[in-house]
Structure 1
Amino acid sequence: MSTTGATGSSKYMEKLRELHLRVNEARKSNHVQVVEEDKRSKLPSNWEVRQKRLQWEEEDELFRLECNQQKIDPDRMRALNVSAEIADRLEIRRRKKCNTDEGFSTYADASHHLAFPTADTIGLTDRKDTPEAVERLAKQIIEQGVKRKAYSRRRPFDADADIDYINERNKRYNELLDRHYGKYTAEIKQNLERGTAI
């Protein structure tokens, strides 16, 4: 009876030892993964892209060396390995990047294009005015200046007008109101002056 108990406990101990080993293996592998994840988190955000770029550059350098040893143009050899569809897409992308015509950019550029639609537009420096035309222009400008000095919008002071203001600003405001509402308030003012207002 004791032998069966000993064999039962030895099986139990064996199973326990096996579980301990599995737990230790899991702990070690978990620790290794945590360390790797920590290393990855401390790397720059574009690390994978950089690595791919470096790997591509190394492969490209090896490819060019092989082509140079065989005395073949590497760009031509690479073009043989690219399908027509991919080449078209790459060409379209390259053209979009190199497009210098941005369309409408500023109003200054637009007005320049309106004023000078072609490269062959004759400039203003090629045309010479006659002395008579210059004299005529000068005379017109002098006449305009004389007319401008003679014309005045200043209204003369009316001594007979009612004084219903306290200063110049109030006078201007009352004139504005009178322009808009004068025909409606004229009767009310007359009634107030006569004393017949209700």
Structure 2
Amino acid sequence: MRKLKLKMNQARQLNKQEVLREGERLGSVEGAAKARNGKHLVEQADSSIYRATKKSDMAALSQYSARDYYNSEGMSKSYERNVKSINRATGGGAWKDDPTNSTATFDPILDASDEAKERDGARNLANEMKRRIEKQKEKRDRLEFEGEDVTWINQRNRKFNQKISRNYDAHTAEIKQNLERGTAL
């Protein structure tokens, strides 16, 4: 038992001496240099994390996504315009006043169909379809410019190139000029 107590005292004394040496070492120039180096490493890690997050954010912004095809606001505005044009075509909503057109009073036994109304409805539908086809043609003609350089292989690629050019044209203008002149490295 006495040997065990001696070993414990010896270990305690060695531990105290080591603690004192470590305190002196941290208080010295070497300790301060190590602390500064550790702080510098932490700052480097923070800056590299910041750069990595910024780079990933930029990559996410420049990515081509499905949201480019689906625009809910545009679809709702288009729907509202179409509803307004249909109301104008039918005479400003006069069909709402007719009690025979109400779904609450619909009776399949009674034949309340009017041939003139059906013809008007078919005519209005045909006019609306023609108007939409004309609108598509105008849009297509507007998109196709005569003097435009062709840098795309299909419409999807064309849209993608337009999106890329929004972000990178300012940075690649000089490279393009060098390629055109033949002086590119």
TM-score, normalization: structure 2?
Answer: 0.30
User: Higher RCO, 1 or 2 (CA under 8 Å, sep at least 6)?
Assistant: 2
